Amino acid sequence: MPHPLEPDRDTLVALTDAVSRFVIDHVASLSEQPSNDSDGVEFLKAGFKEKAPEGGRPLAEILERLSPAVAKSFNTAGPGYLAFIPGGGIYASALADFIACAVNRYVGVRVAAPALVQIEETAVRWMADLMGYPASAGGILTSGGSLSNLSAIVTARAARLHEDELPRGILYVSNETHRCVAKAARIAGFPARNVREVPVDARWRMRPDALETEIRADHARGLKPFLVVPSVGTTNTGAIDPLPEILDVARRHGLWVHGDAAYGGFFRLAKDGPRLMPGLEQCDSITLDPHKGLFLPYGTGCLLVRGGAALLRAHADSAHYLQDVVDDSAPGFNDLSPELSRDFRGLRLWLPIQLHGLQAFRDSLQEKLELTRWAYGELSRDQRFEILDEPQLSVIAFRLKEREGDAKNEELLRRVNARRRVFLSSTRMGGRYVLRICVLSFRTHADRMKDAVDALREEAAALG
């Protein structure tokens, strides 16, 4: 018998209990699950190519079908996931999302759910405080770094350019900047020719002297430099661009400075954090990804703007059909981002911090830095490996020695990942194939890091 759209209380209890057991069994077994598994996935995918059913199915049957679909994937929430930038998926956030989706309150405008809007605003304020921003700062939770960087570019555009200057507006990145920044610039109306790639130094950081040269050259061409985007933790190596020097160059030329700290920003909470990224608090805006450094579920980003009024000026709009929900005392989230309809993201950030406290996150982030330094020490003492740079955060980029070609490095990665205890990824730097370890999951501890190092050593020895 199909479930009605409005189940009675007993049915609600039964449905919730079934899903809870499904989720708890999954989370409890994460450390035993393989780090990646795609065996037989094509057959599995074929079973989901189906027409929408006219009649409902039992939940037990649906969950039984869903279980292998979850399993045949990268185990991104597991302790062995050391690829790309791990996302932890802390359980408290899942509880928060369950509440938020079930109550389904609208938070796009303030008057619709004033206390819930305040919860989210408080969570954003916490983020601003952690980054050292003043009381005048504003911000918005987004779906992730890509949307945060887009809104940051729109905010900088409104703050630094007149409309007739848009075709001449120039922004500066490095060749290590995340690809979403150039994509966001294109969406914001700046073609590829308006995006300058500033060279990097031997540690893969943007060179302030080269930035200065590029800006002066563009001024001489009659162009309008308006924005520079330094990275606070690049994806390839975790490099942190020299913020104080970049800020100095930008201030002399009137540029907006947007710190892309999606990956690295939350390491500011660790014991050595402020020393690792001096000047971050002076950036005009900052992108953070709580779904990285605070271990929240994917889809949780944050944009902070040091002068919050600039964010409002860039995004505010009005319509007659919203006249009943206008609140002149303060802007709503719809005035601070491209979204009018949005989910209640704030609870998935607010509830875990309330439940665990900031110290738990500080301790875990410090642990990740220490695990990275340990693995770096182990690999750097092995004569078979070449490390591209001493880790600045929690990424180690390395490869077999120069005499070894790309094919052997590719085979090493395949063999290590085939063990299914850890999952690593690769990239290209300076035209060479490079392996990466990124330590960021709150479930990753010393035992799994030892598994990674042992696997690399053993497979490198087997390759000869």
Percent of the chain with pLDDT over 70: 99
Domain region containing 247: 98-356
State residue 32's pLDDT score: 97
CA distance 96 to 112: 19
Give me 64's structure tokens: 């039984």
Confidence band, pLDDT 50/70/90 cuts, at residue 330: confident
Percent of the chain with pLDDT over 90: 94
Please indicate, yes or no, if residue 262 is contained in any of the structural domains.
yes
Tell me the average pLDDT of the chain: 96
- Over residues 276-305, the mean pLDDT reads 98
Statement: residue 422 has pLDDT above 90 = yes
Please indicate, yes or no, if residue 253 is contained in any of the structural domains.
yes
Please indicate, yes or no, if residue 33 is contained in any of the structural domains.
no
Confidence band, pLDDT 50/70/90 cuts, at residue 211: very high
Confidence band, pLDDT 50/70/90 cuts, at residue 148: very high
State residue 1's pLDDT score: 58
The CATH number given to whatever domain includes residue 176 is 3.40.640.10
Please indicate, yes or no, if residue 35 is contained in any of the structural domains.
no
Q: Which residues contact 75 (CB under 8 A, 6 or more apart)?
A: 30, 33, 34, 35, 36, 37, 81, 423
State residue 403's pLDDT score: 67
Least confident of 1-5, 130-134, 157-161, 373-377: 1-5
Torsion of CA 202, 204, 210, 214, to 10 degrees: 150
Statement: residue 404 has pLDDT above 80 = no
State residue 418's pLDDT score: 98
Tally the C-alpha atoms within 13 A of residue 331's C-alpha that lie toward its C-beta: 20
Tell me the pLDDT tens digit for each residue of 92-144.
999 999 999 999 999 999 999 999 999 999 999 999 999 999 999 999 999 99
Torsion of CA 95, 99, 102, 106, to 10 degrees: -130
Tell me the pLDDT tens digit for each residue of 175-193.
999 999 999 999 999 999 9
What does each C-alpha distance from 324 to 114, 154, 270 come to in angstroms? Answer: 15, 28, 45
Statement: residue 2 has pLDDT above 80 = no
Rg of the chain (C-alpha set) = 24
Three-state secondary structure call for residue 205 = coil
Statement: residue 206 has pLDDT above 80 = yes
Q: State the total domains in the chain.
A: 1
What does each C-alpha distance from 6 to 10, 263, 324 come to in angstroms? Answer: 12, 42, 30
CA distance 23 to 19: 6
- Over residues 31-37, the mean pLDDT reads 96
> Cα 238 from chain centroid?
13
